[in-house]
Amino acid sequence: MKTRIVGWVAFAAVTLMVLVALFVVPADLNQGDAQRIMYPHVASAWLAYLSFGVTALAGIGWLWRRDLRFDSVALAGAEIGVMFTAFAIWGGMMWGRPVWGVFWQWEDPRLTTTALLLALYVGYLLLRRLTDDPDRRATRAAIVGIVAAVDIPIVHFSVEWWRGLHQTATIGSPDKILNPAAPAQFVLTLVGMVLAFTLVWTYLMIRRYQLAQADLANEEAARVDRIMEARAVEASR
């Protein structure tokens, strides 16, 4: 199966990139070895945002076409997105402590926005659990997903403004390796890590989508069973 191939290629890619990030690429002059954390951190953040974009778009797809497959995609995106968001935050904190001296900095727009992203999508997942009817669940989730997606750029800009007004010069900036002027080895490692993560993401999305579809089928079967039972009870009266 093609998916299985994707999975193993992804695994190989990630293994390779982890080895490169930890042992091959040199440490940063200012941030030291802690800078190695940036590679999976940035990759996770990128996939977190990608996932939620997918969820929002899939929600629109459901509202437009009323095909539950869109909703399965949305669910996969949200669950996987929450995971990568948590990784991004954790990575950011583990990087922050050695480089900034603190685990958290309110004015870092990426960290704060990502925290809010986590809150928004945990809410999304909790909301889904409260509805049994697949169509209603899909609609409710779609609306919440869209409003959340629309909120995220606003959050990002507001926190950037917040930081801009304080002019704190931080010794270590996570932006550093995103700068195209950074040394080629860093950039290449980062790109490699992002690509490897994206392969993993693709594999996980496919599998989670398949699981969601299977769950839907089971739900439907259970519903049909209950109706048959009820009818049988009625008939025996």
Partner 1 sequence: MTALRHEARLALAIAAKDARAELRGRHALVSTLFFAAIVLLLFGFALGPDRSRLSEAAPGLLWLALVFAGILAVSRLHLLETDDGALEQLALYPVPRRTIYAGKALAGFAVMGVLGLIVLGAVAVLFGASVGESIVPLLVTLLLGIIGIAAVGTFYAGLTVRLPSREVMLPLLMLPVLAPLLLGAVKATAAALAGDPFGELGAWLQLLVAFDVVMVTAGAATYGYLLEDG
Partner 2 sequence: MTDVGYILAAYGVIFGGLALYTVTLWRRLRRR
| Long-range contact set of residues 129-134: C-beta below 8 Å, sequence gap at least 24 | 132/219, 134/68, 134/71, 134/216, 134/219, 134/220
Q: How far is the CB of 161 from partner 1 (least distance, A)?
A: 6
Beta bridge partners of 28: 32
Beta bridge partners of 32: 28
C-alpha span between 201 and 3 (Å, rounded): 12
CB within 8 Å of 74: residues ≥ 6 apart: 54, 55, 58, 59, 62, 138, 141, 142, 145
**216 contributes a contact to partner 1 by CB under 8 A:** no
**3 contributes a contact to partner 2 by CB under 8 A:** no
Concatenated DSSP letters of 104-155: --TT-HHHHHHHHHHHHHHHHHHHHHT--SHHHHHHHHHHHHHHHHHHHHHH
Q: Which stretch binds partner 1 (CB under 8 A): 76-84, 161-169, 210-218, 220-228?
A: 161-169
Distance of CA 132 to the CA centre of its chain: 25
Task: Rule CB under 8 A: choose which of 30, 33, 188, 228 binds partner 2.
Answer: 33
**72 contributes a contact to partner 2 by CB under 8 A:** no
**207 contributes a contact to partner 2 by CB under 8 A:** yes
**110 contributes a contact to partner 2 by CB under 8 A:** no
Task: Rule CB under 8 A: choose which of 24, 27, 67, 135 binds partner 1.
Answer: 135
Please list every residue from 72 through 131 that binds partner 1, using CB under 8 A: 116, 119-120, 123, 126-127, 130-131
- Shortest CA distance to 80 belongs to which of 109, 55, 102, 61? 55
Residue 40, binding choice from partner 1, partner 2, none, Cβ under 5 to 8 Å by partner class: partner 2
- Shortest CA distance to 56 belongs to which of 75, 30, 37? 75
**219 contributes a contact to partner 2 by CB under 8 A:** no
**157 contributes a contact to partner 1 by CB under 8 A:** yes
Interface contacts to partner 1, rule CB under 8 A: 63, 116, 119-120, 123, 126-127, 130-131, 135-136, 139-140, 142-144, 146-148, 150-151, 154-155, 157-159, 161-162, 165
Interface contacts to partner 2, rule CB under 8 A: 14, 18, 22, 32-34, 36-37, 40-41, 44, 80, 83, 86-87, 90-91, 94-95, 97-98, 200, 204, 207-208, 210-211, 214-215, 218
